[in-house]
Amino acid sequence: MRSASALRGAFCLALALLGTAPANAAGDRAAGSAKATQCQTCHGRQGMATMPGVPNLAGQSDVYLAAQLRAFREGVRNNEQMSIVAKSLSDADIENLAAYFSQIKVTVGAD
């Protein structure tokens, strides 16, 4: 059985994801590409992670990416590195990054 604290945390995350994500992140891909240089170390040059345990960003939904960045920025979702990075992002930065990474085409194949 989940504790009241865990349930409250899950509820807050759900509200943050639903309440802060735009219906359609309409960011500027070029601006997102320029801003994405800070993401490359962990998430890879084209949004394909190079480090174990780090998620790929390429091809993810723009709405999903924007919601996750807002959750990190607002402290609803916590990760030592991402929480620090996200705190410096404006709403426009988040929409631009989401637009950039969501438009990268992902190909599945051999390494």
pLDDT in tens, 27-71: 999 999 999 999 999 999 899 998 899 999 999 999 999 999 999
Query: Which residue's structure tokens are 């509200």?
Result: 15
Average pLDDT over residues 83-98: 96
Residue 70: other Cβ atoms inside 10 A:
23
Q: Give residue-wise pLDDT tens across range 3-17.
A: 555 555 555 555 554
3-class SS letters over 18-77: HHHCCCCCCCCHHHHHHHHHHHHHHHCCCCCCCCCCCCCCCCCCHHHHHHHHHHHHCCCC
Angle at 44 between CA 15 and CA 55, to 5 degrees: 35
Domains annotated for the chain, with CATH where assigned, are: 25-102 (1.10.760.10)
**Model pTM score:** 0.74
pLDDT band at 107 (very low <50, low <70, confident <90, very high): confident
CA atoms within a 13 Å half-sphere pointing along the CA-CB vector of 7: 4
pLDDT, residue 88, reads 96
pLDDT of residue 108: 73
Q: What pLDDT is stored for residue 50 in this prediction? A: 82
